[in-house]
C-alpha cells in the first residue's frame, strides 16, 4: 500500500501542495485530473524522488521513500514524465536498455535473458521495432513518448507513474497502449497512477479518479461520482453534457 501523510511542498512562490492523507492500494489503477497548474506533475515529481525537499511522509509498504536509496527506488517506481522532449541522445534501444540499470550489481553489469526479454517485449508493444537504432533526436513527439513508455514498462516496477503519457500519441496508439498497460497491470498486479487531461480516457481507464485543484485533492471517487456536469463546471469552469458510454457504461463528456 502507498500512504501519503501531511505532505507539504512549495516552490517558494505562490504555489503550495498540501495532501493530508491519501492511501492507494496495491494493484489499483488510479487517474489524477485537474486544471493546468493544480500540482499534478509536482506530486508525481515528489513521489518519483525528483523533488525531495518536502515535509510529510510518503510510504510504500510502511517504508518511508525518502530513506530508500535511489537505485532501490528505481526497482519500485518507474515514471513517464510530462516533459521528455530533450532528455537523451542515444538510440531507442539504448535508452530502453537503461531501464535495467537498477537491476545490475557491482559483480554483474551485463544484460541477462530476463533483461533482453522484457526490453524486447516493451519495444514490441510500443510499436518501436523499426526505430530500434534511430536516435532519440530523430524521433517524432509521439515516438519519443513511446520510448519513454517502453522504458517504464521494461523497468518492471510495482508502481508506474504516468504523467499525461498519451499527450503526444495518435488515437490508435492511445487506445492500444491504454489497453496494453491496463492488462499488463491487472495481470502483474501493478499499481498505476496516471495523470490525464482527457476526462473521457480517465473515466474509461480507471475505477478511481482524484481531482486536484490549487495544490489539493478536492475530490476522490469513482468515475460516476466525479464526472458530473456540476463537478466539471466547478473544477474547470466549462459547461458540458455527460453521457454514458454505450459499451462500458462509464460517464463520458461532450463539449457544449
Ligand X SMILES: Nc1ncnc2c1ncn2[C@@H]1O[C@H](COP(=O)(O)OP(=O)(O)OP(=O)(O)O)[C@@H](O)[C@H]1O
Using CB under 5 A as the criterion, which residues of the chain lie in contact with Mg ion when the complex forms?
40-41, 82
- Smallest separation (angstroms) from ligand X to the CB of 32: 8
Q: Which three cell numbers stand for residue 115?
A: 533483461
DSSP state of 51: -
For Mg ion, which is the closer residue by CB, 51 or 180? 51
- Smallest separation (angstroms) from ligand X to the CB of 211: 11
Q: Should residue 194 be labelled a site residue for ligand X when binding is judged by CB under 6 A?
A: no
The DSSP line for 20-44 is: EEEEE-TT-EEEEE--TTSSHHHHH
Residue with cell 456536469: 229
- Smallest separation (angstroms) from ligand X to the CB of 13: 5
- Smallest separation (angstroms) from Mg ion to the CB of 37: 8
Q: Which three cell numbers stand for residue 153?
A: 514498462
For residues 113 to 152, the per-residue mask of contacts with ligand X, x marking binding by CB under 6 A and - elsewhere, is ----------------------------------------
Q: Which three cell numbers stand for residue 133?
A: 537504432
- End-to-end Cα spacing for the chain: 40
| Dihedral sign computed on CA atoms, order 151, 63, 217, 231 | positive
- Smallest separation (angstroms) from Mg ion to the CB of 86: 17
For residues 72 to 111, the per-residue mask of contacts with ligand X, x marking binding by CB under 6 A and - elsewhere, is ----------x-----------------------------
**Which of Mg ion, ligand X, none sits in contact with 15, Cβ below 5 to 8 A by type?**
ligand X
For residues 30 to 69, the per-residue mask of contacts with ligand X, x marking binding by CB under 6 A and - elsewhere, is ----x-xxxxxxx---------------------------
- Smallest separation (angstroms) from Mg ion to the CB of 203: 19
Residue of minimal CB distance from Mg ion?
41
For ligand X, which is the closer residue by CB, 36 or 55? 36
For ligand X, which is the closer residue by CB, 18 or 82? 82
Give the separation between CA 144 and CA 169, rounded to whole angstroms: 10
How many residues touch ligand X (CB under 6 A)?
Answer: 12
**Which of Mg ion, ligand X, none sits in contact with 223, Cβ below 5 to 8 A by type?**
none
Question: Cα separations (Å) of 33 from 39, 111, 210?
Answer: 10, 38, 6
Residues 6+ apart with CB under 8 A from 36: none
Give the separation between CA 152 and CA 103, rounded to whole angstroms: 14
Contact at 8 Å (CB) between 29 and 68? no
- Rounded to 5 degrees, what are φ and ψ at 253? -105, 150
Interaction site with ligand X (CB under 6 A)? 11, 13, 15, 34, 36-42, 82
Amino acid at each position: 500500500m502507498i500512504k501519503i501523510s501531511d505532505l507539504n511542498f512549495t516552490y517558494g512562490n505562490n504555489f503550495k501542495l498540501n495532501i493530508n492523507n491519501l492511501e492507494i492500494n496495491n494493484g489499483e489503477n488510479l487517474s489524477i485530473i485537474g486544471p493546468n497548474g493544480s500540482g499534478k506533475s509536482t506530486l508525481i515529481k515528489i513521489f518519483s524522488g525528483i523533488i525531495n525537499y518536502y515535509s510529510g511522509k510518503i510510504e510504500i509498504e510502511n517504508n518511508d521513500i525518502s530513506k530508500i536509496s535511489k537505485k532501490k527506488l528505481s526497482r519500485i517506481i518507474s515514471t513517464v514524465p510530462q516533459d521528455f522532449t530533450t532528455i537523451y541522445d542515444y538510440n531507442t534501444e539504448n535508452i530502453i536498455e537503461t531501464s535495467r540499470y537498477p537491476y545490475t550489481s557491482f559483480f554483474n553489469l551485463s544484460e541477462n535473458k530476463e533483461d533482453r526479454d522484457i526490453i524486447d517485449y516493451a519495444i514490441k508493444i510500443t510499436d518501436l521495432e523499426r526505430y530500434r537504432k534511430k536516435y532519440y533526436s530523430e524521433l517524432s513527439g509521439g515516438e519519443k513518448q513511446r520510448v519513454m513508455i517502453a522504458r517504464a514498462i521494461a523497468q518492471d516496477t510495482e508502481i508506474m507513474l504516468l504523467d499525461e503519457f498519451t499527450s503526444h500519441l495518435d488515437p490508435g496508439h492511445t487506445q492500444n497502449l491504454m489497453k496494453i498497460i491496463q492488462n499488463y497491470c491487472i495481470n502483474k498486479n501493478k499499481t498505476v497512477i496516471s495523470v490525464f487531461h482527457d476526462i473521457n480516457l480517465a473515466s474509461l481507464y480507471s475505477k478511481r479518479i482524484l481531482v486536484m485543484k490549487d495544490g489539493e485533492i478536492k475530490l476522490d471517487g469513482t468515475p460516476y461520482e466525479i464526472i458530473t456536469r456540476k463537478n466539471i463546471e466547478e473544477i474547470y469552469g466549462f459547461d458540458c453534457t455527460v453521457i454514458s458510454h454505450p459499451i462500458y457504461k462509464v460517464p463520458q463528456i461532450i463539449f457544449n
